Amino acid sequence: MSGDLRPSHWPDPVASPRLCRGAPLSIALTVLAVEVYRLVVLALFAAILGEPFGFLRLLVNGGRDSVPARAGGSKGISADPDLAWFRNEGAQQGFGADGRIYLSFLDKKFGDDFVFRINVGGETVPKKEWISDRNWPPVLGQQTGQILSWGQTPQDSTGVVDPAPPDVYKTVRHTVGSPLTYDIRDVPDGTYKIRLHFSTGSASASATTFDVAFESAAPQAPLASFNPVTAAGGANKVVVGEATGVSVGDANPGLQIVFSPVGGTDEAIVAAIEILETAGSGFVKWIDCGGSGGTTFQPVLEHDEWVGDASLVGTPAGMSGSLPDQDQTGVVNPAPKTVYRTRRHSADPANRAPHVFDLADLPNGTYNVRIHFAGATENESFDYEIEGEAIPELQDIDPYALAGGQDNQVVIVDQGPTGAPIQVTVSDGNGMQIESIPDPMSQTGESYEAAIELEFLGEVDDTDIFLLVNDSPLDDIPAASSWVPWNGSDGRLNTDGPGNSQFFHEIAVDQVSGNVALTWEDSQSQQDLRRVQFFWTHTTSLIPSIEFAPESLFLPGEVASFGGNDSEGVNSQSRLGDYTSIDFHFGVVFSAWANNSGQHGNPDPEGPPDPDPEADPGIPVPVGKADLFIHKRTVP
């Protein structure tokens, strides 16, 4: 099939009024049954999940499903306010032959609460979320044991290195006299360090001894005949036991952990599990044993992602240095300790050379700026210019003096003398450039920083595509807790940065292979956010974990459509229609969508060429001249 088919290529509606003739009655009844089941599931989903999800409310409306953006008011979808009318686009669902249900919807990831965090001189420190082990779908794993709560009694983690947040220690999984098992199937082959967290609560030291085995290997010290109450020093305390060099790679997918009570009346308990790959892809997973995160899709967040500065679009000049542990005492909202182990400083201190961070991907808008300093030494001061302007609050910065003359003390500069936050506006479309300049009188000729935080304050309405999965049996009513994000974390599907629009998404499931495909309109490859192209992605793996191919153009070489308001105020609904369409069978994805570029063999005969709205916004853009595109792609 060619790249774009005009409406004239469709069958004659009189000679061929239906696309499918002579379908057996059994097929027709099956299709009808599936459609009825779909509507029942969506109605129940709306009733059950309206409150637990908070941000997601499903309404069935004439066969189409509507999802407002977030409770408290829809913010729209596009970084361009001209596209805000897409805000009420519906959720889409797909049913697999294996009984799995997929639900995709739009929601904001980047917006008023967007914060860009940079680990200066270091590698990316991933977001650390403790995910509940309740109601795991079979594809992710399963566990035995009962949930035991310590109530509101605090569990003392004093002296524990890198403890979990206090909420994680409120519950444990436990068994008495029988093994407590975890089968965590999404852990890829590799070598791991496992950190097991135990909160002792009211457990008895005389009846809480057990062995811990990984991947059927014999228990090893210190987790052989382990007694967490004794190790922690009593009740209502926290202790962490570690195992290194745990190898995953046998015939059973994922990681298996078995906690075996030593005696018939002994109890096995565990509060949390950290899985940290030491070689390979860098897989990490934090499990809150018995925690409530899995029922609310609000996992316990220890810290957000801090992006290593080597991955920035413009690699900053300057050398990366390594630091000892830094004291965070008295620091409000510090970064994780790992972030303060590196910093970036001048590459040529003899000539007092500055170093520059070129954050080209940041959208236009206003930002609060926080700069973190660590490893301060005496007689060093420096200035900052942001967007080519000297920032008054960031002149003559002397971290050593700000730390009260203390070595290895963390200091954060985020406000001026009046207590007002430091704010910078980006308006040139080229992101933000930050220049760190050594003071001419500095003793070492260096400037340095350990981390940078940029909190976006502008009005970017950027909705992304999210996907939930339900593995409940078809004869069960889906419970709120049975819907899980496809990736085990936030469920976001598209991978672009802030400021872009995704809309008109559709989903389809190949009933033969079980693979899933999605298509949508997207502005991520366009400088003018009112111009959009048609993107797609598909699953590359379903077991042991769901994986998607990177999103790409569905029709390679497609010229972008215009999707925003023109100078006469006509919006893109009259240009791109109401929605797109998709089907997926025998490994082939078919999709239909509108393109109004006039650059694919059908230029507009009634008006001038579509102008560049940025170059000449006064020229009206022709409307209503969209062409119908149909294309197919094969999934390997």
pTM over 0.85: no
User: What fold does the segment set 128-303 form as a domain?
Assistant: Jelly Rolls (2.60.120)
Helix, strand, coil in percent for the chain, rounding step 5 = 15, 35, 50
Q: Are 297 and 479 in contact (CB under 8 A)?
A: no
Residue 498 or residue 632, greater confidence: 632
Q: Please compute Rg for the chain using Cα positions.
A: 28
pLDDT of residue 478: 54
pLDDT of residue 21: 30
Q: What residue ranges do the domains of the chain occupy?
A: 7-112+460-634, 116-120+308-456, 128-303
CA–CA gap between residue 363 and residue 34 (Å, rounded): 44
Q: What is the DSSP string of 590-624?
A: EEEEEE--S-SS---SSS-----TTT-TTSPPP-S
Residue 49: is its pLDDT beyond 60?
no
pLDDT of residue 614: 43
**Closest-CA residue to 546 (of 474, 466, 485):** 485
Please state which of the ranges 255-264, 315-324, 335-344, 368-377 shows the lowest mean pLDDT. 315-324
Per CATH, the number for 116-120+308-456 is: 2.60.120
pLDDT of residue 620: 39
Instruction: Reply yes or no: is the peptide bond before residue 421 cis, omega within 30 of 0.
Output: no
Rounded mean pLDDT of 235-259?
Answer: 92
**Closest-CA residue to 238 (of 250, 228, 225):** 228
Most confident of 12-21, 31-40, 293-302: 293-302
Predicted confidence band of residue 14 (pLDDT cuts 50, 70, 90): very low
Residue 525: is its pLDDT beyond 80?
no
Between the alpha carbon of residue 430 and those of residues 143, 478, 533, 576, 614, the distances in Å are 49, 46, 22, 29, 15
Predicted confidence band of residue 552 (pLDDT cuts 50, 70, 90): very high
**Closest-CA residue to 538 (of 522, 554, 552, 517):** 517
Residue 512 has which token pair?
């033969």
CA–CA gap between residue 633 and residue 525 (Å, rounded): 20
Determine the number of helices (DSSP H) and then strands (DSSP E) in the chain. 5, 41
pLDDT of residue 636: 86
Q: Answer yes or no: same fold for 116-120+308-456 and 128-303.
A: yes
Residue 100 or residue 443, greater confidence: 100
Between the alpha carbon of residue 513 and those of residues 103, 186, 509, 542, 636, the distances in Å are 18, 20, 8, 10, 11
Query: Maximum CA pair distance of the chain?
Result: 88
> Which residues have a Cβ under 8 Å from the Cβ of 614 and sit 6 or more positions away?
527, 528
Most confident of 35-44, 56-65, 162-171, 274-283: 162-171
Residue 544: is its pLDDT beyond 60?
yes
State what percent of residues in the chain have pLDDT above 90.
31
Residue 538: is its pLDDT beyond 80?
yes
CA–CA gap between residue 394 and residue 386 (Å, rounded): 10
Rounded mean pLDDT of 394-406?
Answer: 91
Per-residue pLDDT tens over the stretch 100-138: 888 887 765 444 457 888 888 888 888 888 888 887 766
Q: Are 463 and 503 in contact (CB under 8 A)?
A: yes
Predicted confidence band of residue 346 (pLDDT cuts 50, 70, 90): confident
Most confident of 36-50, 58-72, 434-448, 532-546: 532-546
Predicted confidence band of residue 261 (pLDDT cuts 50, 70, 90): very high
pLDDT of residue 462: 64
Q: Are 509 and 493 in contact (CB under 8 A)?
A: no
112: left (phi over 0), alpha (psi -120 to 50) or beta: alpha
CA–CA gap between residue 119 and residue 197 (Å, rounded): 27
Residue 93: is its pLDDT beyond 70?
yes
Most confident of 160-169, 310-319, 603-612: 160-169
Residue with tokens 């009420």: 88
pLDDT of residue 601: 57
Please state which of the ranges 322-326, 361-365, 554-558 shows the lowest mean pLDDT. 361-365
CA–CA gap between residue 539 and residue 486 (Å, rounded): 11
CA–CA gap between residue 516 and residue 94 (Å, rounded): 8
CA–CA gap between residue 5 and residue 9 (Å, rounded): 6
